[in-house]
Amino acid sequence: MAVLLLAEVTDGALALDATAKAVAAAASLGDVTVLAAGASAAAAGEEAAKIAGVAKVLVAEDASLGHRLAEPTAALIAGLASDFEHIVAPATTDAKNVLPRVAALLDVMVISDVSGVVDGNTFERPIYAGNAIQTVKSNDAKKVVSIRTASFDAAGEGGSASVETISAAANPGLSEWVEDKVAASDRPELTSAGIVVSGGRGVGSEEDFKLIEGLADKLGAAVGASRAAVDSGYAPNDWQVGQTGKVVAPDLYVAIGISGAIQHLAGMKDSKVIVAINKDEEAPIFQVADFGLVADLFEAVPALTEKLG
């Protein structure tokens, strides 16, 4: 059977890593048709056509699709659904906005944040902040599935799928984009970075968060933060790692001044190597750390930054 996969397209650019990971997860479900939708999406569609395992690409360009507003994007996908048994997307905030709406339009349940594909009807997904893994079998005719990208390796390149242009659905005109506030950064993207350095409440201020950023830059890493650090205004919301923020699984995760609430662990405990630096030896973060250092971060982090690289 066939799979329709919503590519992650932001302002015309394909998020290759997230999209290729979703393609890898969906490969066993059937032939994958990628949908690239946006005000401009042709270039993203061309790029997606080169992902190995992609059979076909549909490009829908329309002003209404420009900022991935849920209503016109969901209407477009629901209109295409008759040809597909699975509708899949990487579990980004965009897809989490759109896919449940699609599922309800099709009168099926959505299956969010899938971490394992057992077969075409059966999926594994974390519940209770990752404290349990549930295997669910769908009884719906269509399966609408978002993929936890941290659980899959990206599909490689080498595909040469055909690209077809399609029209957008009628815009229901329910919402309008006003503005984006996106901080420009030269650092790697958090969910696809090989190394992530994160700071928590223990860092103490926005100014001292520079220590975290300094170590990250030395390692070529992305910067993350705990909810406590974001709530306290030390770090912006898009750095949050955890149950309700981003889920990461880098080769190396360095947690600094983070106590390790289960909600934070939910977003990083699948990292390959975890380092924890905290002055409280009882902090739960040490239970998941491969290497723990009980130390004052204000001494340890500058020393570590100097000695690495």
Footprint on residues 203-242 left by other proteins (CB under 8 A) = 219, 227, 230-231, 236-238
Within residues 34-53, the interface with other proteins by CB under 8 A covers none
| Segment interacting with other proteins (CB under 8 A) among 20-28, 47-55, 91-99, 153-161 | 91-99
Q: Please state whether beta strands 122-127 and 116-117 pair in parallel, antiparallel, or not at all (unpaired).
A: antiparallel
Smaller CB distance to other proteins: residue 34 or 69? 69
Within residues 102-141, the interface with other proteins by CB under 8 A covers 102-105, 107-113, 122, 125-140
Whether the Cβ atoms of residue 287 and residue 201 lie closer than 8 Å to each other = no
Residue whose tokens read 């594994």: 124
Strand residues in 24-75 grouped as ranges (E): 31-38, 54-61
Q: How far is the CB of 153 from other proteins (least distance, A)?
A: 17
Smaller CB distance to other proteins: residue 33 or 271? 271
Smaller CB distance to other proteins: residue 53 or 72? 72
Q: Does 274 bind other proteins (CB under 8 A)?
A: yes
Smaller CB distance to other proteins: residue 103 or 155? 103
* Rg of the chain over all Cα atoms, to the nearest angstrom: 20
Q: Count of residues binding other proteins (CB under 8 A)?
A: 92
Smaller CB distance to other proteins: residue 24 or 228? 228
Within residues 151-210, the interface with other proteins by CB under 8 A covers 172-183, 191, 195
How many degrees, rounded to 5, is the angle at CA 119 between CA 113 and CA 125?
Answer: 20
HEC per residue, 75-116:
HHHHHHHHHCCEEEEECCHHHHHHHHHHHHHCCCCEEEEECE
Q: What sign results for the dihedral spanned by CA atoms 183, 187, 192, 197?
A: negative
| Segment interacting with other proteins (CB under 8 A) among 160-168, 196-204, 206-214, 271-279 | 271-279
Q: Does 80 bind other proteins (CB under 8 A)?
A: no
Q: How far is the CB of 43 from other proteins (least distance, A)?
A: 18
Is 76 exposed, middle or buried, given 0-12, 13-18 or 19+ CB atoms closer than 10 A? buried
Q: How far is the CB of 286 from other proteins (least distance, A)?
A: 7
Residue whose tokens read 């999406």: 41
Whether the Cβ atoms of residue 6 and residue 145 lie closer than 8 Å to each other = no
Q: Does 54 bind other proteins (CB under 8 A)?
A: no
Smaller CB distance to other proteins: residue 157 or 291? 291
How many degrees, rounded to 5, is the angle at CA 240 between CA 235 and CA 243?
Answer: 155
Residues 309, 305: Cα–Cα separation, whole Å: 8
| Segment interacting with other proteins (CB under 8 A) among 54-62, 157-165, 201-209, 283-291 | 283-291
Among 16, 225, 248, 300, binds other proteins (CB under 8 A): 300
